[in-house]
Structure 1
Amino acid sequence: MITTIALDLDNTLLTSEKTISLRTEKVLKQLHDNGIRVVLCTGRPIKAIQPLLKQLNLLTPDDYSITFNGGLVQQNATGDILARTSLSKADIKPLHAYAKQQGIPLDVIDLTQVFSLVDLGKSEYEAFLKGLMPFTDLSFADLPADDKFGKVVSASTKAVDNREQLPAEITNKFHAVPSRRNLLEFLPQHTDKASGLKQLLAHFDDDYSNLMAFGDEENDLGMLKAAKVGVAMDNAIPAVKAIATDHTLNNDDDGVAVFLEKYFSLV
């Protein structure tokens, strides 16, 4: 039995205008009211998705989100952490050296802010987030040594294109995955949306057999493979379509709502 619906955000739940359509909002609220867990799964911090959580009324004690692409499992209303994997400054040091060698930018993210490592050059990541989190510009030497970081991102097409050539000292420590065509994310090793969902499902004495997931990009592959019902959007990349159990319309044609209405026989 499906008890949990996991939803990627950009180009899956959200339209091209970065909104949740009224039809999709109605369907998700109906299922949530019927006892189905609705879990937003994103690389963003929970502060950045609060408007979406409020829109969908996902603010009860049993409502959680997967943030930092699986690195954090958080209670929506309070931000309390159920599970966490993180990186230290020491972990990031070899990545910084690699980025300097390659000429690619890095931004390092903790629970409350983004640190732009401007000794590598200012990236486009701040413009991409559009004010969703505060930014601090500093050099790697000034990065707080006692902080815990959820992920490091490189807003660079070059970083994405060259990820197959990452050296062992990087791949042994990080799970490197694109979340967009020009955004490469470096997560703690063995961390993805599937690992976060596994921890959340276990909290409710469930497992992947109770999971339905929707996605479109490479960072959604893990949860779509793991889910009992893995749904690829029509706008998904070929690799996602290839492993999905089901397919639906694109994100601008209410793909999520259309599939859920049929699967759960909603009126």
Structure 2
Amino acid sequence: MIQAILLDLDGTLLNDEKIITEQTKRTLLALQEQGVKVVLASGRPKRGMIRYAQELKLNEFGGLIVSSNGACVTDASTGDTLFEQAMQIEDVRSILKHLEHYEVIPMINDDTYMYVRDVFEGQLEVNGKLINIIEYESRGGQFQLREEPNLIEIIDFPVHKILVAGEPSYLRENATALAGPFTGRVTSMFTAAMYYEFTDFGIDKAKALRHVFEELCIDRDHVIAFGDGHNDRSIIEYAGIGIAMGNAVDALIDIATEVTTSNNDDGISKILERYITH
């Protein structure tokens, strides 16, 4: 019996058009009606996840929102924070200072704004296409943009993560140097080819859920997780059944219980249909 379903968003629950397909939505609603808890677990900030939680009616069924790679867990029904671990302010300032030496775009947010140094310096070439990554992220997270040339000076709010965007090849070449001075102090990882992120030490999606599921008496052996990226490794390893999407990175496919079809081919629904009681 499945007690909970863990779902990454981008590249997993959402297709490439950032849409939850009707088939996948029907399957998830049917399982929630049977008492299964649905958990959205993403690198996105909470603000950028709420609309998908509402679309799946997590507020009606008592689902959870795991945001910022596990730095915060929110009860979708009540809005209560069930777990939170922000970064240390001095670590945030040190990392932002360090990033000034690299050709990257750091972004931080509070509950309303996404803060960047220069709103006009967001152009990146990704998969052969030129996009404004700052506009893309602010729209996805439903944030207002706020330009602050010196980000270090404005931090007086909890920072759950530092999002660093850059050309994929540049980030690959410089990842070790970006993280180097902070190894053992914070957690850092790729969350997409053009994104490298920092969170507080030890934070990942599974750590947050271990804490919350213990309170809810949910057994990890009765949990199924879906993911596609490096930051989904913790939930794939944690869950009794860990499913890699067909479009997942090789490192995730190698450790998954099973591989389903891609996020554009209802890969989630094709697995979960087995668990619907007809």
Aligned counterpart, 1:53? 53
Distance 1:167 1:179 in 2: 14
1:160–1:128 Cα change, 3 Å: farther
SS in 2 for 1:6: strand
The one of 258, 266, 272 aligned to 1:260: 272
Cα pair 1:88 1:145 within 8 Å, conserved: no
Unaligned runs of 5+ in 1: none
1:154 Cα offset (Å) = 0.7
Cα pair 1:74 1:81 within 8 Å, conserved: yes
1:150 Cα offset (Å) = 0.9
Amino acid in structure 2 at the alignment position of 1:127: E
1:113–1:208 Cα change, 3 Å: farther
Aligned counterpart, 1:226? 238
Q: CA RMSD in A?
A: 2.2
Amino acid in structure 2 at the alignment position of 1:55: E
Cα deviation per residue 1:199-226 (whole Å; 9 max; x = unaligned)?
Answer: 2212202242232100001010111011
1:130 Cα offset (Å) = 5.0
Amino acid in structure 2 at the alignment position of 1:224: I
TM-score by length of 2: 0.88
Superposed, 1:140-219 pairs within 5 Å as 140=150, 143-156=153-166, 157=168, 158-166=170-178, 168-219=180-231
The one of 126, 131, 134 aligned to 2:134: 126
1:22 Cα offset (Å) = 0.6
Amino acid in structure 2 at the alignment position of 1:133: F
Distance 1:208 1:140 in 2: 43
Unaligned runs of 5+ in 2: 124-131
**Matched length:** 266
Aligned counterpart, 2:127? none
Distance 1:219 1:14 in 2: 16
Cα pair 1:177 1:219 within 8 Å, conserved: yes
1:54 Cα offset (Å) = 1.8
Cα deviation per residue 1:113-146 (whole Å; 9 max; x = unaligned)?
Answer: 2211349x65744222252212211033564343
- Stretch of structure 1 that moved more, 133-142 or 197-206: 133-142
Distance 2:94 2:33 in 1: 47
TM-score by length of 1: 0.91
Aligned counterpart, 1:76? 76
Amino acid in structure 2 at the alignment position of 1:242: D
Cα pair 1:116 1:122 within 8 Å, conserved: no
1:187 Cα offset (Å) = 0.9
